[in-house]
Structure 1
Amino acid sequence: MSVELTKANLSDIENMQKLVIPEVEAGVILARSSDEIATNIRSYILAREEGEIVGFCALHIHTPTLAEIRSLIVKESKRGMGIGQSLIDKAMQEAKILGLKKVLTLTYKQSFFEKLGFIEIPKESIPEHKIWADCIKCKHFPICNEVSLIKTL
């Protein structure tokens, strides 16, 4: 079976939220409302297998030179098949096309991102608006165990 990568559309939101529920409940991925996903729908890349969403991620732009990979999820039964790497590769291609210089991520999967060329950076170097816009909503805030990583394009 092959996985197709596509941009998300508004009719995908319900299925995207269903896929991410376990990771949100575990505190691994930040909860996002339907309205928030709709507002940022253009930033989402989906992985589909026979029409079913089996993974997604978002490329969220912070500044003209910096974006963030966020909300990376792959259906548990499909992990280890290269879907996550394909999603990140697609997001990085889009970042290059847009003219971004760096892409950051906050993750519990440090080794996964390091295999893709990301390097760890101090959390203090993350833009402050990121902390107040997103991190403050996290159930782990302010005690964050995520690792911040960045990749220069």
Structure 2
Amino acid sequence: MIELVKAKLSDIPAMQALVAPEVKDGIILNRTEDEVATNIRSYVLAKDGEKLVGYTALHIHSRRLAEIRSLIVDEAYRGQNVGQRMVQFTLEEAKNIGVEEDVLVLTYLPQFFLKLNFKEIDKEVIPEHKIWADCIKCIHFPICNEVALVYKLA
């Protein structure tokens, strides 16, 4: 049975190993071990027993805006609603901590998020600090094919 749990610092090596192929292909932004450690409280993991099979993070930009980042599911576990469960967990977490309006996601898989009631938006409305803090680190910058979507909390 797959459980969703909050990440611990001891999970970082397994997290880095799971995401490595997606980082290499430029699908997920590289985060150093130190960056992951600094933000460890934002991560939720999907575990099958002791095996890490997926994770994501909820990053808070402001009182009004949060972002789902680094969503990854082990290929062997895709199609089993692991990603959907993690997204739903982060949306609940956003509500519980008081995010007032939107949860943003940038993705190459918009259909997945559209099925979860996210709506596509123009990338021009994404907060500027997001672009300079994260997007500039991407191997695809400035030519970005990701799709921006938001989930309305309010």
TM-score range, shorter chain: over 0.9
- What is the match of residue 48 of structure 1? 47
1:35 is the counterpart of 2:34: yes
The Cα shift of 1:95 comes to 0.4
CA distance in 2, matches of 1:75, 1:62: 27
- What is the match of residue 131 of structure 1? 131
* Residue pairs, 1:106-121, within 5 angstroms: 106-121=106-121
- What is the match of residue 152 of structure 1? 152
Q: What is the TM-score normalised by the length of structure 2?
A: 0.98
CA distance in 1, matches of 2:24, 2:78: 19
CA distance in 2, matches of 1:147, 1:141: 14
The Cα shift of 1:37 comes to 0.2
1:125-147 CA distance string (max 9 Å, x none): 00000000000000000000000
The amino acid of 1:90's aligned partner reads F
Aligned-residue identity in percent: 61
Matched position secondary structure for 2:10: helix
1:12-68 CA distance string (max 9 Å, x none): 000000000110011100000000000000000000001111000000000011000
1:21 is the counterpart of 2:20: yes
CA distance in 1, matches of 2:88, 2:39: 20
In the alignment, structure 2 segments of 5+ residues that lack a partner are none
Matched position secondary structure for 1:5: strand
Matched position secondary structure for 1:31: coil
CA distance in 2, matches of 1:22, 1:78: 16
In the alignment, structure 1 segments of 5+ residues that lack a partner are none
**After TM superposition, where is structure 1 displaced by more than 2 Å over at least 4 residues in a row?**
none
CA distance in 2, matches of 1:112, 1:34: 28
CA distance in 2, matches of 1:113, 1:85: 9
The amino acid of 1:47's aligned partner reads A
Matched position secondary structure for 1:18: helix
- What is the match of residue 11 of structure 2? 12
The amino acid of 2:35's aligned partner reads E
- Root mean square deviation of aligned Cα: 0.4
CA distance in 2, matches of 1:138, 1:53: 25
- What is the match of residue 142 of structure 1? 142
The amino acid of 1:37's aligned partner reads V
The Cα shift of 1:99 comes to 1.0
- What is the match of residue 72 of structure 2? 73
